[in-house]
Amino acid sequence: MSIASEEIVETLGMIHAQKLDIRTVTLGIDLHACAGPDVTQVARRAYDTVMRVAERLVPVAVETAEEYGIPIVNKRVAVTPVAWFAAACETRDYVPIALALDRAARDLGVDFIGGFSAIVQKDMTAAARALIRCIPRALAETSRLCSSVNVGTTKAGLNMDAIALMGQIIKETADLSADSCGSACARLVVFCNAVEDNPFMAGAFCGSGEGDCGLSVGISGPGTVRAVVQSLGRDLDLQTVAEEIKRVSFKITRAGELVGRRCAAKLGVPFNIVDLSLAPTPAPGDSVGDILEALGLDRVGGPGTTAALALLNDAVKRGGAMATSHAGGMSGAFIPVSEDATMARRAAEGALTIEKLEAMTAVCSVGLDMVIVPGDTTAETLSGIIADEAAIGMINKKTTAVRIIPAPGRVVGDHVEFGGLLGGGPVMPVSSSSCAVFVRRGGRIPAPLQGLSN
């Protein structure tokens, strides 16, 4: 297939002027073979396996980025949910495994390692419950380990016992990292309908349908899409705008798959999927919020925001799906508050609220992401927020998630800075209405009738 010279120039412009990058290459690694009764031995085997399989991940990613001139921002590893292979251990203290995985990430030079995870949408095994209770210590004692818990699916409904427990776990995690404003909570996400091939953190793990290993790519490109939308002016109709977003999403996805396949070939591992998600950063111009405002909104969070996000999310998926037969992961648009400078600014102004973010969840990739709330927010309130997000995912047959940070000692209006890709943002107000009685009922919220689809 021939490539016109103007297309080459356009792609170079995307890289140099519009901040096009590959957000992550993530190597999934199966660790079932590490199971055994002695947690110390399990931890050592997990470390050795990750080191052996991912030994060349970072140098290969750096080499490939230089070869194609496209930056690869993050190099990551995702492993089998620890609750699965740790179940054979005689102890229920899985922190040694967490420490071993974190040490492997540090020794490899990868940014994050995901998979300190449990899948509990219907009930909790003893191992899953034990792992969940280990999460606060595991995250407090590590710096690169990420954790996720899936509490619901469209097929199974919502496990309210797990949701109630996760409110407590988030509070404990924040308290154990109070010296950094609860930043350990940024490495913990609660899912409904979690996907098993997600390359993005904190929710990446190597699911049951995956192979021994495989390389996935998470693309980026909010700046590129914003530049295209701004170049169209404000007179074009929205259908034409959507077509242009599709066109640029196609190009971004093609670049991502090219880089991913090259990395996989050099590593000698299977190429897995391309996640089409637009992932913002705190850098100026690298914002999903900017795209929404370029579409014609005065401020993100105001009337029209959900509709604009729906247009963007669908156009990105359509363009990306045309470019690859291996789309997977979340694939859409992320709306993290602290990681998106424009979203954080609108939240500080009061234009963007938690309630509006919840509405936006119905049409975007994930949900309430990197939201900072007062440190005195109760565990039951956190659980209620999780339940609301999970219900949206369950009913709409989509992935939703909560990554929320109750910042100890902070109140509404304070600003919290985490640094790096985590960014910073305002402490957002939470409703004072109590849902404690509802959350404490426990049990399960039954799956919707549409879940009976066989």
pLDDT of 356 strictly over 70 = yes
Tell me the C-alpha distance between 50 and 113, whole Å: 10
DSSP 427: B
CA distances in angstroms from 449 to 106, 150, 157, 189, 452, listed in the order given = 46, 20, 10, 27, 6
CATH of 1-448, one of 3.40.640.10, 3.40.630.30, 3.20.70.20, 3.90.1300.10: 3.20.70.20
Q: At what angle do helices 238-267 and 57-68 cross, to 10 degrees?
A: 130
Question: Mind listing the pLDDT tens digit for each residue in 122-176?
Answer: 999 999 999 999 999 999 999 999 999 999 999 999 999 999 999 999 999 999 9
Is the torsion defined by CA of 289, 294, 299, 304 positive or negative?
Answer: negative
pLDDT of 8 strictly over 70 = no
pLDDT of 6 strictly over 60 = no
**Per-residue pLDDT, 266:** 95
**Per-residue pLDDT, 18:** 54
Q: What is the DSSP string of 211-238?
A: -SEEEEEEE--HHHHHHHHHHT-SSS-H
For the chain, the structural domain boundaries read: 1-448
**Per-residue pLDDT, 10:** 56
Identify the band that residue 19 occupies on the pLDDT scale cut at 50, 70 and 90.
low
Q: What is the pTM of this model?
A: 0.91
Identify the band that residue 222 occupies on the pLDDT scale cut at 50, 70 and 90.
confident
Identify the band that residue 2 occupies on the pLDDT scale cut at 50, 70 and 90.
very low
Identify the band that residue 5 occupies on the pLDDT scale cut at 50, 70 and 90.
very low
pLDDT of 1 strictly over 80 = no
